[in-house]
C-alpha cells in the first residue's frame, strides 16, 4: 500500500514545491526511467497522479512510479516516429482543428523558454531559515541552484530525441549531484537542507542499473522506484 500521489500532496500544500523538494523526486524518477530505458520500455503517461509517495510522514518524498497501462516497447514508438519526421508542439488553433476541443490554459502558462526562466528566477523560496544567516550568501547559493535547475529543465524539455538529455546523463547533472552546493553544505541553510532531503534516496544503484529486473533482496539493495 502506498500513500498519496504527488498531485494530492501539492493540492494539500497549496504552494509550489521548493527546489529541495523537487530534487529527490527528480532523482528517483530519473532512476526509474533509466531502468525502463535499460529494458526498452516507455511509460508514456508521466503525470503527478502516477507518482506516488511511499509514506510521506516516515519517508518524506520517497516515491514510486505507477500505472503502466499505456506503456509500450521503445521499438514501437520508434516505428511511429519513422512515420513522423519530427516533433513539434501544436498551437491552440492547431490542437482544436485536430481534436475538435478548445484547449484550456492554467492561470499561468509560458510562451517561450524565456518566460519559464523568468518565472523560476523570480519565484521566492519560502523557508524557516535562521535570520542571522548572511542573506547575500544565501541568495547567491539559491540563485546558483535555480540556474542548475533551469539548465536541467531545458535539457529535459528538448523535443529532439537525438539531443535531449538521457536519464543516465540527467542523473549526473549538477542539479541532481549538487556539486555546486558542496562548498556550502555545512554553512548555508539551503545547501544543508538540499543534502538532508537527498539522503532519502541515496543508494548504490550500479547493479540495479545493469539488471533492473533483478531481485534487490539478493544483494541488499533497495528497489528502483518502479511499481
Query: Mean of the pLDDT values across residues 184-192?
Result: 89
Q: From CA 96, how far away is CA 103, in angstroms rounded? A: 7
pLDDT in tens, 137-176: 778 888 899 999 999 998 998 888 889 999 999 999 999 9
The predicted structure's pLDDT at residue 209: 44
Q: From CA 67, how far away is CA 207, in angstroms rounded? A: 25
Q: From CA 175, how far away is CA 173, in angstroms rounded? A: 6
Checking if the pLDDT of 216 tops 60, the result is no
- Set out the domains of the chain in order of their start, with CATH numbers: 6-88+124-218 (1.10.510)
Strand partners, 73: 41
The predicted structure's pLDDT at residue 59: 87
Strand partners, 53: 63
Which residue has better confidence, 114 or 82?
82
- Match 541515496 to its residue by C-alpha cell: 202
The predicted structure's pLDDT at residue 24: 95
Residues 6+ apart with CB under 8 A from 81: 87, 161
DSSP class of 193: H
The grid cell for 50 is 502516477
Residues 6+ apart with CB under 8 A from 68: 41, 43
Amino acid at each position: 500500500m502506498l500513500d498519496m500521489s504527488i498531485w494530492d500532496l501539492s493540492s494539500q500544500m497549496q504552494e509550489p514545491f521548493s527546489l529541495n523538494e523537487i530534487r529527490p523526486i527528480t532523482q528517483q524518477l530519473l532512476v526509474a526511467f533509466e531502468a525502463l530505458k535499460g529494458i526498452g520500455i516507455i511509460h508514456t503517461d508521466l503525470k503527478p497522479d502516477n507518482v506516488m509517495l511511499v509514506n510521506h510522514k516516515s519517508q518524506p518524498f520517497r516515491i514510486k512510479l505507477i500505472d503502466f497501462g499505456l506503456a509500450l516497447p521503445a521499438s514501437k514508438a520508434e516505428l511511429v516516429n519513422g512515420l513522423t519526421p519530427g516533433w513539434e508542439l501544436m498551437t491552440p488553433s492547431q490542437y482544436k482543428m485536430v481534436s475538435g476541443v478548445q484547449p484550456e490554459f492554467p492561470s499561468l502558462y509560458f510562451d517561450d523558454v524565456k518566460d519559464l526562466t523568468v518565472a523560476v528566477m523570480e519565484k521566492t523560496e519560502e523557508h524557516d531559515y535562521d535570520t542571522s544567516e548572511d542573506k547575500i550568501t544565501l541568495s547567491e547559493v539559491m540563485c546558483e541552484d535555480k540556474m542548475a535547475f533551469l539548465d536541467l529543465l531545458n535539457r529535459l524539455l528538448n523535443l529532439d530525441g537525438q539531443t535531449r538529455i538521457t536519464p543516465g546523463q540527467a542523473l549526473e547533472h549538477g542539479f541532481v549531484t549538487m556539486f555546486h552546493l558542496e562548498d556550502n553544505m555545512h554553512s548555508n541553510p539551503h545547501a544543508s537542507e538540499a543534502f538532508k532531503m537527498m539522503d532519502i534516496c541515496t543508494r548504490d544503484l550500479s547493479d540495479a542499473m545493469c539488471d533492473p529486473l533483478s531481485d534487490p533482496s539478493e544483494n541488499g539493495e533497495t528497489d528502483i522506484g518502479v511499481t
